[in-house]
Chain A
Amino acid sequence: MIVSVASGKGGTGKTTVAVNLALALALEGTTSVDFLDCDVEEPNAHLFLHPVLETSEPVTLPVPVVDESKCSGCGICADVCAFHAILSFGNRAITFPELCHGCGGCVRFCPEGAISEAPREIGVVETGWVSCVGAPAVAARAAEAAGSVGIARSSGLLVSAGSTAAAQAIRFVQGRVDIGAALAPPVAKAVRGKVGPANGVVIIDSPPGTSCPVVASVEGSDYCILVTEPTPFGLNDLTLAVDMVRELAVPFGVVINRAGLGDARVTAYCRQENIPVLLEIPFDRRFATSYARGGQLVRDFPELEESMRGLWRQIRTVAGPLPEEAEMAR
């Protein structure tokens, strides 16, 4: 089951909810948990989860390379390109790779076969593990060393050797767009592509806003949690985010963070629109300080672990059983 965590407005607590929900589920140990940080412009979840990263792959986009000896200067490529990434100039074609979206139109329609493609790096995708018992990642390593990795990779559950209790590790994936590269959506899609059909739970931390990088993160999820704050900014941006998830036809509910700090208009809006308020996290300076220092709230404040489990139960009533449970039931 894929659960994305989004918000119109930035800084409302998306990452806090995503990270702590993932941790609460992993600590409970009944399902496998994958965490995808799709906020590729500003990936932050790693600051709280401290994953041990194992792989790093470049994300590339195919951009045109012109063979000048074949170019006749006909200008069809420039005419084809909707993004002004290739211009015809005399009997030459000049490319602007930073504007290219990688559609391949120029290559396909060049009558001289003068254009080929070369990869341009726009970011990276990194994968690793987060351990949820003991020191970060130690248990994951230990389990792997003990040879249970076969089980881990096949069932998605990392079971520590010699123990019946599930020593859950979270599989972690994050993307990072290169500074100055304006193409977040392909990097977010590359992160999404790292997880196939999930048996357990996949939590996706999305970027703020409602435009293309957010759509790339949220679309195809089974449920979307919209995190907001009870202020006019939070409300305004929540309404935009609601329009987006409705457009994508993803079931959703709202988490109100820093409850008690602003006013009651967010709650009134949710009631009027028939949107479930799944959880309210009160404003508490202790939470703010723990967050500021990169703390894991569910570990620092047990009441929040219970809140996250309650949040999960509510999502489950809407989104139904996990694929692995459905299979077991059969």
Chain B
Amino acid sequence: MKELLVISGKGGTGKTSIVGSFAVLADNKVLADCDVDAADLHLLLSPTVRKTNEFRASRQAVLDPARCIGPEECVGPAECVDAGQCSAWAVCAEVCRFEAIGPAGRAGSAARAGLPHIVPRIDPISCEGCGVCARACPHGAISMEEVLSGHWFVSDTAYGPMVHARLGVAQENSGKLVTQVRREARSIAESQSLDYIITDGPPGIGCPVISSMSGVDFALIVTEPTVAGAHDMQRAVELARHFGVKTTVCINKYDLDEAGSEQLEEYCSSQGIQVAGKVPFDEEVVSALVRGVPVVARGSSHHAEGKAAQAIRRLWSSIESELAD
């Protein structure tokens, strides 16, 4: 079983359109959408969700106003004050390094109805879940509570099983959710003896991309002949090298700037990276997307198959033979 990860560095180069087409072209595979922050693959593959799971990986500080004595009175234990660890304005605010507890940052303080004093407000968006405030509070007024950060789904599509997810808005831990999606995809691939895991990766080079990349067999970087596409591809190539992942490149919309496309090819060849395919700009890709089908799907167009679809077929053949090695 081989795991293929499709990434790009820059967003919007065509990762998901290409993965959607691979879903049609590849046999015996499971699909994984690891762009958990803004997942789109389901819009092409129309999955039927079989199982929905809650994703709870992070915890958040929650203050019990009844136990809190309020920032005017709250100072830490004498030894902490002496050691310079605490001073004024509530121990919890003093120890928080993420500006999640007032007076700095978004948090500020709030008066609570029925209380003789104000209590600090904990900003759930800024809270990193480290738990330092809960331990430091001299009155045991803060507890760490699990938060529902998103959902992940196991689904069926016309092209095989798919695992995908939705991270809650403004949530953390996208890396852990990616790991969860990949773990499930791997277990499906193992139990059904599938040949491939095909993963739609997130943009960027940060935490969710790193989680997508560890231990994959092969990374396809989809780029485009723009200065931004070239710049971000180089960072993606460096990241793949950092993790020792074998890499190949696809230049999408290559004919929007053929000179730029040649420069991309030169860069790849200077780095010893194969360009597995070049896909032309083709409005049919957009019209297939509007209809919610992969561009290579049967009946995706009333006309004969367009030039982009043909190029994506050739790209898959080339990658399939790479994966077979």
Whether B206 pairs with A184 at a CB distance below 8 angstroms is: yes
Contacts of A179 in B (CB 8 A): 205, 235, 238-239, 242
Asked whether, in the complex, the Cβ of A41 is within 8 Å of the Cβ of B12, the reply is no
Give, as a whole number of angstroms, the nearest-CB distance from B75 to chain A.
16
CB atoms of B12 and A80 under 8 A apart: no
Q: Are A220 and B106 in contact (CB under 8 A)?
A: yes
In the complex, A247 has a CB within 8 A of chain B: yes
Q: Is the CB of A183 within 8 A of B207?
A: yes
The segment out of A165-173, A195-203, A235-243, A303-311 that lies at the interface is A235-243
The reply to whether the CB of B125 lies closer than 8 angstroms to some CB of chain A is yes
Q: A179-B242, A182-B207, A240-B38 in contact; A232/B289 too (CB < 8 A)? A: yes
In the complex the two chains form, is A82's CB within 8 Å of B37's CB?
no
Q: How far is the CB of B91 from chain A (nearest CB, A)?
A: 11
B9 touches A42 (CB 8 A): yes
Is B325 engaged at the interface, CB distance under 8 Å to the other chain? Answer: no
Among B11, B131, B136, point to the contact of A10 (Cβ < 8 A): B11
Report chain A residues within 8 Å CB of B260.
292-293
Chain A residues within 8 Å of B207, by CB: 182-184
Please, which residues of chain B bring their CB within 8 A of the CB of A184? 204, 206-207
Q: Does A180 contact B (CB under 8 A)?
A: yes
Q: State which of A24-32, A104-112, A141-149 sits at the interface with chain B.
A: A104-112
Cα distance, A148 to B46, chains bound together (Å):
61
* CB atoms of B203 and A236 under 8 A apart: no
A289 touching B130 by the CB < 8 A rule?
A: no
CA distance A44 to B229 in the complex (A): 9
User: A1-20 vs B: 1/0 string, CB under 8 Å?
Assistant: 00000001111100100000
> Which residues of the partner chain A approach B205 to less than 8 Å between Cβ atoms?
41-42, 177, 179
Using CB atoms, name the residue of chain B closest to A261: B286
The answer for the CA separation of A233 and B14 in the assembled complex, in Å, is 11
A102 to B227, CA, bound (A): 35
A207 touches B (CB below 8 Å): yes
Q: A180-B239, A292-B260 are in contact. Are A41 and B169 (CB under 8 A)?
A: no
A-B contact count (CB 8 A): 179
List the A side residues contacting B235 at CB < 8 Å.
41-42, 179
CA distance A209 to B170 in the complex (A): 9
Residues of B within 8 Å of A251, CB to CB, are none
In the complex, which residue of chain B has the Cβ closest to the Cβ of A243?
B169
Interface size (A, Cβ < 8 Å)?
59
Closest A residue to B233 by beta carbon equals: A42
Q: Does A83 belong to the interface (CB within 8 Å)? A: yes
B110 within 8 A of A: no
B95 contacts the other chain (Cβ, under 8 Å)? yes
Chain B, range 56-91, C-beta contacts under 8 Å to A? 59, 85
B99 to chain A, nearest CB (A): 9
The answer to whether A103 touches B97 (Cβ under 8 A) is: yes
Q: Are A236 and B43 within 8 A (Cβ)?
A: yes
Which among A15, A82, A247 is the interface contact of B169 at CB below 8 angstroms?
A247
A157 adjacent to chain B (CB < 8 Å): no
A248 at the interface (CB under 8 A from B): yes
CA distance A237 to B206 in the complex (A): 19
* Given known contacts A42-B10, A179-B242, A208-B11, A9 and B256 CB-to-CB distance under 8 angstroms: no
- Of B156-164, B171-179, B301-309, B316-324, the one contacting chain A is B171-179
On whether the beta carbons of B286 and A262 are closer than 8 Å, the reply is: yes
List of B residues within 8 angstroms of A292 by Cβ: 224-227, 256-257, 260
A230 CB to nearest chain B CB (Å): 9
Contact B256 A289 (CB under 8 A): yes
Residues of B within 8 A of A275 (CB): none
Interface residue ranges of A241-280 to B (CB < 8 Å): 243-244, 247-248, 261-263
Give chain B nearest CB distance to A102 CB in angstroms.
Answer: 6
**Alpha-carbon gap, A208 to B202, bound state (A):** 10
**Residue B129 at the chain A interface, CB threshold 8 Å:** yes
Picked from A15, A101, A208, the residue with its CB within 8 Å of the CB of B203 is: A208
Known: A10-B12, A184-B206. A244 touches B170 (CB 8 A): yes
Max chain B C-beta neighbours (<10 A), residue from A12, A83, A103, A219: A103
The verdict on A96 contacting chain B, using a C-beta distance below 8 Å, is no
User: How distant is the Cα of A288 from the Cα of B167 in the complex, in angstroms?
Assistant: 32
Which A residues lie within 8 Å of B129 (CB)? Answer: 82
Query: What are some 10 contacts across the A-B interface (CB < 8 A)?
Result: A105-B131, A105-B135, A179-B205, A184-B206, A212-B174, A236-B40, A240-B38, A244-B170, A248-B125, A294-B226
Residues of B within 8 A of A (CB): 8-13, 16, 37-38, 40, 43, 59, 85, 95, 97-98, 106, 125, 128-132, 135-136, 167, 169-172, 174-175, 202-207, 209-210, 224-228, 231-232, 235, 238-239, 242-243, 256-257, 260, 283, 286, 289-290, 292
Smallest CB-CB A-B distances: 7 pairs: A10-B11, A11-B12, A103-B130, A41-B204, A209-B37, A182-B207, A294-B227
Q: Which residues of A contact B (CB under 8 A)?
A: 8-12, 15, 41-42, 44, 47-48, 80, 82-83, 101-105, 108-109, 177, 179-180, 182-184, 207-215, 219-220, 229, 231-233, 236-237, 240, 243-244, 247-248, 261-263, 285, 288-289, 291-294
15 more A-B contacts (CB under 8 A) besides A42-B9, A80-B135, A215-B170? A9-B38, A47-B231, A82-B59, A103-B97, A103-B98, A103-B128, A183-B207, A208-B37, A210-B169, A211-B171, A212-B174, A233-B43, A236-B38, A289-B256, A293-B260
